[in-house]
Amino acid sequence: MLSTIGALCFALFLAITTPLAPSPSPSPAPSASATNASPFIYVRGQALAVANGFLIFTSGDALRLRATTAVPPKLTIGSIVRVTVDRLQHDVTLIELDPPRSYPSDVDIADLPRDFIAQSPKSVRPVTKGPTVGAVAAGTVSVTIEVRVPAQTPPTDDVYLSTDRSNYSPAEIRMQRVDARRFTITLGLPAGTLLKYQFTRGNYQTVERDRTGGIVRPHQLPVAPNARSNDTVARWADIS
């Protein structure tokens, strides 16, 4: 009964036993650029403005600029900066715009001892925990979305990803089959963004629904390096 092609299909599968390639080992951690004994503190933060001899951060904290310190002309709201602060003078001697990496010795502006902060006493707010600098990697990163579809899905139908990036075009990205009920897709997306998406079978009438047939809010995936999402479609709009 099984034709030659069918036999070949399965023979190919069963013959393949090549193990998955091991994932590459992580790159070595960057070395520290300074120690506690250093006369300087390296501070990271997001710039809000430069005015009246102060560098003001989006946290509301400000550092006094040394008179000779050059301000990068491209500095604007939200720019990530790494500044060198003189421990004795409590002023900024250097501003680096968009530093390519952070070092273990870098201090977030929110964690900097308050005596370095140049601010009116009434405006000082309590120290906040956690970094104020966006820890998001720049550029395009790889994310993977996998979905399990309901049993009633016609076996030969394709499944599509419909995202906010295309205004939810119902046949935007055709997913790859993993097995009878699972599909996957790997995408390159801008890091730090939020991907909103739904699953369809190629048109608006076949969009996913919840278990009771109600509208499903779009799934969300924060785009970070190697982010992964495992989703389930409870039901299709056109199949009860």
Partner 1 sequence: MRLVRSAAVVAAVLAGTGAARAGGLPSKIDVRADGIDFFPYANAALLAATGHVVLREGSRMLEADAVRVDLYRNRLLASGHVRVLGGPRPLDATAYALDLATGRATLLRASPVPATFAVRDDDPASAVEEPAPADTFEAADLDGQRPYMRSRHALVTPNAGVRMSPAEFPTGAGPSLTLPTFLYTLVQNQHINYSAAPAASFDQPYSLFGSPASLTAAHLRYDGTNGVTLGLDTHLVEGNRAYFVASLLPFWDRQIDWLSFQQLRPGVQQQLSGFATFGAFANQSIQYQLQHSGTFLKETFSAGQFDSSNSGQLVASTYEHDVGHYFGYQLHAGYGYDHNAGGYPFNNDFRKDLGAELLAPDFRLLGTPIGTRYDYDNTLYSYPHQILTGTLTVSAGRAVTRALRVFAQVQFQQSDDRYRDPAVAAYALGLPDPALPYYAPDGTPWPGYFSYAGESTYRTYELDATFQGRKPDDRIEITLYHTRDFPQFHGFGRAPYALSLDVTRRIAPELRVELGRSYDFGWGGRYLSPQYSFSVGP
Please list every residue from 118 through 147 that binds partner 1, using CB under 8 A: 118-120, 122-126, 128, 134, 136, 138-140, 142-143
Tell the smallest beta-carbon distance from residue 35 to partner 1 (Å): 28
Does 20 bind partner 1 (CB under 8 A)? Our answer is yes
Tell the smallest beta-carbon distance from residue 238 to partner 1 (Å): 10
Does 18 bind partner 1 (CB under 8 A)? Our answer is yes
Which two structure tokens, joined as six digits, stand for 96? 């680096």
| Tokens 């730090």 sit on residue | 192
Number of residues lying near partner 1 (CB under 8 A) = 98
Does 101 bind partner 1 (CB under 8 A)? Our answer is no
Q: 197 with 204: CB under 8 angstroms?
A: no
Does 157 bind partner 1 (CB under 8 A)? Our answer is no
Does 98 bind partner 1 (CB under 8 A)? Our answer is yes
Tell the smallest beta-carbon distance from residue 37 to partner 1 (Å): 30
Q: What are phi and psi of 23, to 5 degrees?
A: -75, 145
CA 23 from chain centre, in angstroms, equals: 20
Q: Which is nearer to partner 1, 39 or 190 (CB)?
A: 190
Q: Which is nearer to partner 1, 115 or 179 (CB)?
A: 179
Burial 208-219 (b: 16+ CB within 10 A, else e): bbeeeeeebeeb
Which residues ranging from 169 to 228 are in contact with partner 1 (CB under 8 A)? 169-174, 176-182, 186-188, 190, 192-194, 196, 198, 202-205, 207, 211-215, 217-218, 222
SS3 173: strand
Tell the smallest beta-carbon distance from residue 120 to partner 1 (Å): 4
Task: Give the Cα separation of 121 and 144 in Å (integer).
Answer: 49
Task: Give the Cα separation of 153 and 168 in Å (integer).
Answer: 21
Q: Which is nearer to partner 1, 42 or 201 (CB)?
A: 201
Give the number of other Cβ atoms within 10 Å of residue 77's Cβ.
9
Does 67 bind partner 1 (CB under 8 A)? Our answer is no
Which two structure tokens, joined as six digits, stand for 240? 């009860």
Q: What are phi and psi of 193, to 5 degrees?
A: -90, 175
